[in-house]
Amino acid sequence: MKRVLIVVAAVVVAAAGCVALIAVLTSQDPSQVSGISGPGTLEPDHGTGLQRGPVTPASPADRPPTSGRHRDEHVLHDKTELTDDQILDALQSGNVIITYEQAKAPAALVALQRDVQGGPFDAFLSGAGQAVILARRPGAGVQALAWRRRLVAAGPEDPKLRDFADAWLGQGPAGSG
């Protein structure tokens, strides 16, 4: 009987030691599981989902939207100017949009798009939230957009654009398609 009590006491002490060790180690963990981090700036949450009625009001040229309720307006072609409804619909699906100002998309952005998604713009990929969409947006410069994320790039060759696309492609808002 004495031997059983010694074994039970040893097991209890070992279990308490494990719990204490786990508590110490987790208190030292600097990661933030609740906050998703990655390249770009986290933007305010302006809501999600579809709305009926009028067109979403246009945002300032230099600040394309990164979240908000919008009309269902799919992007069928890139390298054009997109409405805010199209931008929000694409971002909510998980696509990444890269803006530029010139009349023609810079070669570096076209190459990035082909490299990340395996070819030129494809409306099917866009519908699945797996497209890098190039959008002409006078006044915006070169920006990468994802749902609630924005990266203002130094130019079309900025390597941060690739990091942004790799990190956020396919990542729409939690709980939506």
Whether residue 174 is contained in a domain is answered as no
Do the domain assignments include residue 35? no
| Same domain as 7, residue 50 | no
- pLDDT tens sequence across 118-134: 999 999 999 999 999 99
18 plus 53 within the same structural domain: no
Domain that holds residue 77: 41-168
150 beta partners: 41, 145
Do residues 91 and 60 share a domain?
yes
Q: Which of 63, 103, 106 is nearest to 84 (CA)?
A: 63
Say yes or no: 148 and 74 in one domain: yes
Domain presence at residue 36: no
Q: Assess whether pLDDT exceeds 60 at residue 59.
A: yes
Predicted model pTM? 0.77
Per the structure, the count of domains in the chain is 2
Q: Is residue 177 part of a domain?
A: no
The strand pairing partners of 100, in sequence order, are 136
What are the DSSP calls for 32-44, one per residue?
A: -TTS---SSEEPP
Residues 2 and 45 in one domain: no
Asked if 99 and 45 sit in the same domain, the reply is: yes
Task: Answer whether residue 32 shows pLDDT above 50.
Answer: no
**The pLDDT of residue 20 is above 70:** no
What is the residue whose two structure tokens read 């030129």? Answer: 120
Torsion of CA 52, 54, 56, 59, to 10 degrees: -170
More confident of the two residues 24 and 93:
93
